[in-house]
Amino acid sequence: MKDLVSISLFVRVVQLGSLSAVAREMGALPSSVSRQIASLEEHLGSRLFQRTTRTQSLTEAGAVFYDYALRLTQELEEAKHAVNRLSNSVTGTLQIAMEADFSQVFVAPILPEFFERYPSIRVRMNLNTKILDLVESGTDLAIRMGHLSDSSLVARKIAVSRSVICCSPQYLKKYKIPQCPEDLSALNCMSFKTDIGSYSWRFQKQDSITEVVITGAVNVNSLGFLKQMALAHQGVSMMPLWMVQNELASGQLMTLLDEHQLVPSTTPIHALFPSSNMLAPKVRVFVDYLIEKLSDSNLS
């Protein structure tokens, strides 16, 4: 960037005809301008100006360099204008990472209206449960469910989700309806899981907390898959209410242990981005739009 400053300064010296004229334009000392030109000449290994006590003219090398330097400074100005237009207008490609289940239930239905509001925005989505490095992957925004660990990312809560324990009525025809969390040990409890290791569900009733280790036949990182397994009468699942509310209303699924509160009782949903400084308008309007639409949704 220092070289670009020196090159721009060189172009202005040629255009204005003297070091002193450039110094006056910049509000700097002529000696300061002279030093920067001398530094550029040293860097190039060639004199750019032929100087006498009264006149200053370009050397042959200076004339050749000026043609390239002028085009470079003009393109630099065009680049600045392009960035300014992008920074001050709602346009561009928005790179988003989020889980497929959430995107299908909530984001896909509301995207058409978003595109109507902001026709110059394009959306590119990475639908994966894997946590990406946003800076390394070039991702503008990630939507993540769950409690966040310490991070250098900026987080903005956009919604809160509540989960339920559920299964199909047909599945419970084979088993006793659980009256307490411990009764789940006799059932096939299918869990949403993205890592290796033991997994448990925690329940609270009054001041008592019970933890149940989940050892069912299915562990999967897809809520949609879990729901299909529950609808196929294969076992019990912990599911976000928004994922199964239609099936609960129709009686295809039923909730269990309603008098026992899951711990934690709710799950936050956050929008994450690398920095809140100079947040691009395309990111800001999308997050605002999500919050607007999710406030009308039955998440909890």
In the chain, what are the domains?
A: 2-88 (1.10.10.10), 92-161+267-294 (3.40.190.10), 163-262 (3.40.190.290)
Q: Could you tell me if 117 and 286 are in contact, meaning their C-beta atoms sit under 8 angstroms apart?
A: no
At 208, is the secondary structure helix, strand, or coil? strand
Q: Could you tell me if 195 and 175 are in contact, meaning their C-beta atoms sit under 8 angstroms apart?
A: no
DSSP bridge partners of 255: 166
Q: String of b and e for 131-140 (b: at least 16 CB within 10 Å)?
A: eeebeeeebb
* Whole-structure pTM value: 0.64
- Is pLDDT above 70 for 233? yes
Q: 54-111: per-residue pLDDT in tens?
A: 778 899 999 999 889 888 888 887 777 666 555 556 888 999 999 888 899 889 999 9
State the average pLDDT over residues 250-273: 92
Closest by CA to 141, choosing from 294, 293, 283, is 283
Q: 17-52: per-residue pLDDT in tens?
A: 888 888 888 888 888 888 998 999 999 899 999 877
pLDDT of residue 2: 66
pLDDT of residue 81: 62
- Most confident by average pLDDT, 9-13, 29-33, 35-39, 226-230: 226-230
State the average pLDDT over residues 116-132: 86
Torsion of Cα atoms, 260 then 191 then 238 then 228, to 10°: -150
Closest by CA to 118, choosing from 280, 296, 298, 294, is 280
- Is pLDDT above 70 for 223? yes
List Cβ neighbours of 144 (8 Å cut-off, separation of 6 or more): 98, 99, 131, 269, 270, 272
State the average pLDDT over residues 234-239: 95
At 191, is the secondary structure helix, strand, or coil? strand
